[in-house]
Amino acid sequence: MPDPKTKNHPKKDEKIIVAEIVSIGTELLLGDIINTNAVFISQKLAALGINCYYHSTVGDNPERINHTLTKALLRSDIVITSGGLGPTVDDVTVASIAETIKRPLVFDSKLLIPIRKYFQKRKVPMPNSVKKQSYIPKGSMTIENKFGTAAGLIMAYNSKLIIALPGPPSELVPMFTEKVMPYLKLKLGNIASLKTRTIKILGLSEGFINEQVKTLLKLKGKTRMGIYIKPGGEVNLKIMSKGSGKDNQINDIERVIIKKFGPNIYGFDNDEIEHVVGNLLRNRKKTIAIAESCTGGLISSMITDINGSSDYFLGSVVAYNNNIKINQLKVNAEILKKNGAVSCPVAKEMASNVKNMFKTDLSIAVTGIAGPTGGTKTKPVGLVFISVASNKTLCTKKFLFSGTRRDIKLKTAKAALFMLLQVLKGYGLFKLS
């Protein structure tokens, strides 16, 4: 059922399936929980070639849930709900769906078996309240939940599908990946799947990139491209293509983008800067140490989020206080006094000295003002100096980042890892000093 407002009308032989995600939970409306489920489901639907035209969020209120579901079923072929399948009083999704589609709730004794096993395995008594999860709308097909007590549900309603999933991502993600996606592929038949290619860029502003690719961003038809801002000053260009010839079309656009931004492209699709840097360090058998001030250990944390990072990461010093810079990192006290902690000479000393301390092949050092206080006219909030040292070079750059304290810390961390990547690859994006 295509959106009547959509400008691009489908061809007669092209099957258009419209989906809507209804996220249920008052905690979502209050901002207590970030709705990662909707993002995940949208991405998976796109991969299947299913158009997700609407996202709705509604609290744990039966009347409002009924209203939202009724509206969704009028305009969408598939309605996927998340949340509200639990045993508590405010878990009203199943009853609300039953009310919306005018079906009675029936007891399914088979659903009690895995619920009992769930509690027996954990050696805790099963509360009577969980029996509520064995009542489902008549005619529902159940989806096994390996990580919780709430089964998922699939219901046919007229020519529509309703899929109800639990709210915890640890339960929803495997259920959708292992059960819902295969079901939809089989049920919907031959839909033109969406193929995507994401190109990840650091070191350039969104405005500059936009100017360079504005012609590509205006593409219409089956192959399109979007520009997206990500945390930490990263910009993603996403190419999306449906139908025949999509591989060639994506490859052609990708080649144009690589030609324009080559050295500033750090990765593709699911790559993260810390993974890319880590793989390169491991492959080249290089080791690294880090000296952090304004980031407070964030760079070290990002690197050690990668399994096996001990192959190349030897250690770090969080030198937040000037005395630590002097006594632990052996930064020259006169240089520190003359230039201040946030300065190019201090960043260089930190990088050189931490490299010597840990006897590594490379090092990173960062010093800056993350704010929101502490800035001056000559050294404003967001001023950061980053140094990357190797056995042959000492690369130092001054940055002026904007945003909240967390924004500045993350931008600093990503910029530092990107500088390291440039040094490892031998790109001349940064002046060596």
pLDDT at 236: 97
pLDDT at 15: 65
Whole-angstrom Cα distance, residue 383 to residue 369?
6
Q: Topology of domain 194-268, per CATH?
A: Alpha-Beta Plaits (3.30.70)
Task: List, for the chain, all residue ranges whose pLDDT scores fall below the cut of 70.
Answer: 1-15, 190, 192, 243-246, 428-433
Per-position b or e across 354-391, b if 16+ CB within 10 A of its CB:
bbebbebbbbbbbbbbbbeeeeeeeeebbbbbbbbbbe
Check if the beta carbon of residue 85 is closer than 8 Å to that of residue 91. yes
Cis peptide, bond prior to residue 372, ω within 30 of zero: yes
Q: Which positions ≥6 away from 160 have C-beta within 8 Å?
A: 73, 76, 77, 78, 79
Whole-angstrom Cα distance, residue 334 to residue 56?
60
CATH match of 18-188 with 3.40.50.300? no
Check if the beta carbon of residue 207 is closer than 8 Å to that of residue 273. no
Place of tokens 């050295």: 263
pLDDT at 370: 97
Percent of the chain with pLDDT over 70: 94
Tokens of 247: 């591989």
Instruction: Give the model confidence (pLDDT) of 319-362 as tens digits.
Output: 999 999 999 999 999 999 999 999 999 999 999 999 999 999 99
- Tell me phi and psi for residue 88, to 5 degrees: -85, 170
Of 370, 358, 361, the closest CA to residue 328 belongs to 358
CB atoms closer than 10 angstroms to residue 419: 25
Report DSSP letters for 322-370, one per residue.
HHHHHHTS---HHHHHHH-SSSHHHHHHHHHHHHHHHT-SEEEEEEE--
Place of tokens 């994006």: 429
Give the full edge-to-edge strand order of the sheet including 78-82.
Answer: 51-58, 18-24, 78-82, 160-165, 152-157, 141-143
pLDDT at 427: 74
Instruction: Give the model confidence (pLDDT) of 173-206 as tens digits.
Output: 999 999 999 999 999 876 767 788 999 999 999 9
Domain locations in the chain? 18-188, 194-268, 273-425
Q: What is the mean pLDDT of the chain?
A: 92
pLDDT at 244: 55
pLDDT at 3: 42
CATH of domain 273-425: 3.90.950.20
pLDDT at 245: 54
Distances in Å between the alpha carbon of 10 and those of 16, 42, 48, 218, 312? 7, 21, 17, 19, 52
- Count how many residues are written for the chain: 433
